[in-house]
């Protein structure tokens, strides 16, 4: 099953099971979604539950907040992270805060979904990632689907959750293939051990997990050691327990993120390692991240702006060698 099909299935099943679930966004209905995530759903559930909105992101999220206040379970789709910026007021000032400000009287069972990240030559206004900003907002759950099985289970959870969820997808994952274990009991807040290893913990999320997996054989060959690869899955809250167990075993941690390094999300993980795990560390934690530049159109420059499997492998091997591996 493809990643986008898994997402489609998750929405489909929750819509079938719960008549209060509605989907709203640009081209989500008749068009089937710009990444085909909502394909076929309008035929099943009608235009009242698959709401094609105008290009008005502030209203897409703002309306979803109102719908959720009134007892619906809206799933708002924003075409890409960059356009979510137009809705940041609604996401941060409204969606994230109503429960707290109302002393728990208002629940917002809603999801805002969007893809983010560098795709292929979409240039500066279509390539950004905003998990760092959104994870810094108390009151929002931020999930990042880097895997097909997780995407299915986590989105189902998110839609039925009574807390507002920002559900982040990646532009380049929609056609990723994977198995979905429909009967599995997946905890969406639990980090996923993608590969076990004993010497280096590599933490990542979204598409970078795949890039890390591509880099790992090279790292292991060069260092003669094994890597444990962790897909964080939930960016807020963070599954520190899983990270702690892994780090206690390996003593070394690398965080790989696609976004610009300064102020990036990975800093939360390395700072946690420094603060909480200092005495378990055998090497300084490092982050491998994108450059602090807007994403350029030219393909060579674009690839130079973000981590690639080659760059990840090279950096980890170098760091390993200078730190006793």
Partner 1 sequence: MNKLLAEEIYYNMVLGRTFELAAKEHYMAGDISGFLHLDIGQEGFSVAAMKAFEKGDVFTTYREHVMAIARGMDPRAVMAELFGKAGGISRGRGGSMHLFDPSHFFYGGDAIVGGQIPNAVGCAYARKFQGSEDGVMVIFGDGASNGGAFFESLNIASAQKLPLLFVCENNGYAIGTKITRVAPFEKQAKKAEPYMMTKEVDGMDAVAVYEAVREAQELIQAGHGPVFLEAMTCRYEGHSMSDPGTYRSKEEMGICKSKDAIERMESYLKTMYGLTDTQLQGVQRRAQATVDDAAAFAAAAAEPELSELFEDVFCKERVNASF
Ligand X SMILES: Cc1ncc(C[n+]2csc(CCOP(=O)(O)OP(=O)(O)O)c2C)c(N)n1
40 binds partner 1 (CB under 8 A): no
Choose the one of partner 1, ligand X, none that binds residue 30, judging by a C-beta under 5 to 8 angstroms depending on kind.
partner 1
Q: Is 126 in the active site? A: yes
Catalytic pick among 5, 57, 228, 258: 57
Q: How far is the CB of 53 from ligand X (least distance, A)?
A: 10
User: Contact letters (x/-) for partner 1, 99-128, by CB under 8 A?
Assistant: ---------------------xxxxxxx--
Please choose, out of 146-154, 197-205, 208-216, 288-296, the segment that lies near partner 1 by the rule CB under 8 A.
288-296
Please choose, out of 78-86, 206-214, 216-224, 300-308, the segment that lies near ligand X by the rule CB under 6 A.
78-86
Choose the one of ligand X, partner 1, none that binds residue 294, judging by a C-beta under 5 to 8 angstroms depending on kind.
partner 1
Q: Which of 16, 301, 308, 310 binds partner 1 (CB under 8 A)?
A: 301
Q: Is 13 in the active site? A: no
Catalytic pick among 94, 126, 153, 260: 126
Q: Which of 86, 133, 136, 277 binds partner 1 (CB under 8 A)?
A: 86
Q: Which of 39, 245, 304, 323 binds partner 1 (CB under 8 A)?
A: 304
C-alpha–C-alpha distance, residues 187 and 266, integer Å: 22
48 binds partner 1 (CB under 8 A): no
Q: Which of residues 6-35 bind partner 1 (CB under 8 A)?
A: 26-27, 30-31, 34
Distances (CA, A) of 67 to 25, 72, 100, 110, 166: 14, 5, 18, 9, 16
Residue with tokens 């035929």: 43
Tokens found for residue 138: 């108390």
43 binds partner 1 (CB under 8 A): no
The three-state (H, E, C) secondary structure of the chain, written as one string: CEHHHHHHHHHHHHHHHCCCEEEEECCCCCCCCCCCCCCCHHHHHCCCCEEECCCCHHHHHHHHHHHHHCCCEEEEECCCHHHHHHHHHHHHHHHCCHHHHCCCCCCCCCEEEEEECCCCCCCHHHCCCCHHHHHCCCCCEEEECCCHHHHHHHHHHHHHCCCCEEEEEECCCCCCECCCCCCCCCCCCCCEEEECCCCEEEEECCCHHHHHHHHHHHHHHHHCCCEEEEECCEEECCCHHHHHHHHHHHCCEEEEEEEECCCCCHHHHHHHHHHHCHHHCCCCCEEEEECCCCCCCCHHHHHHHCCCHHHHHHHHHHHHHHCCC
83 binds ligand X (CB under 6 A): yes
Number of residues that bind partner 1 (CB under 8 A): 34
Q: Which of residues 23-42 bind ligand X (CB under 6 A)?
A: 26
Number of residues that bind ligand X (CB under 6 A): 6
Positions annotated as catalytic residues are 57, 126
Contact set with ligand X (CB under 6 A): 26, 55, 57, 79, 83, 86
Contact set with partner 1 (CB under 8 A): 26-27, 30-31, 34, 52-56, 58-59, 82-83, 86, 120-126, 291-294, 296-301, 304-305
């Amino acid at each position: 099953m493809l990643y986008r099909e898994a997402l489609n299935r998750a929405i489909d099943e929750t819509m079938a099971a719960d008549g209060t679930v509605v989907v709203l966004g640009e081209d989500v209905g008749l068009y089937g979604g710009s990444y085909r995530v909502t394909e076929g759903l309008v035929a099943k559930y009608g235009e009242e539950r698959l709401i094609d909105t105008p290009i008005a992101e502030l209203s897409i999220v703002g309306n979803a907040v109102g719908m959720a206040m009134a007892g619906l379970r809206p799933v708002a789709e924003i075409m890409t992270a960059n356009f979510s910026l137009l809705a940041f007021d609604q996401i941060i000032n409204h969606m994230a805060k109503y429960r707290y400000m109302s002393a728990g009287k208002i629940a917002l069972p809603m999801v805002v979904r969007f893809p983010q990240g560098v795709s292929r030559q979409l240039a500066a206004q279509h390539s950004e990632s905003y998990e760092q900003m959104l994870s810094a907002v108390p009151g929002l759950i931020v999930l990042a689907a880097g895997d097909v099985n997780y995407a299915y289970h986590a989105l189902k959870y998110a839609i039925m959750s009574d807390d507002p969820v920002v559900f982040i997808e990646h532009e380049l994952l929609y056609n990723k293939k994977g198995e979905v274990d429909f009967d599995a009991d997946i905890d969406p807040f639990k980090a996923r051990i993608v590969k076990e290893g004993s010497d280096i913990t590599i933490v990542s999320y979204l598409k970078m997990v795949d890039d890390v997996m591509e880099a790992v054989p090279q790292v292991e060959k060069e260092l003669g050691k094994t890597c444990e690869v962790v897909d964080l899955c939930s960016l807020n809250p963070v599954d520190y327990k899983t990270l702690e167990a892994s780090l206690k075993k390996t003593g070394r941690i690398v965080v790989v993120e696609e976004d610009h390094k300064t102020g990036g999300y990975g800093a939360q993980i390395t700072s946690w390692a420094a603060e909480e795990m200092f005495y378990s560390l055998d090497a300084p934690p490092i982050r491998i991240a994108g450059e602090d530049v807007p994403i350029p159109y030219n393909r060579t420059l674009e690839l130079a702006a973000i981590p690639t499997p080659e760059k990840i492998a090279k950096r980890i091997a170098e760091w390993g060698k200078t730190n006793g591996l």
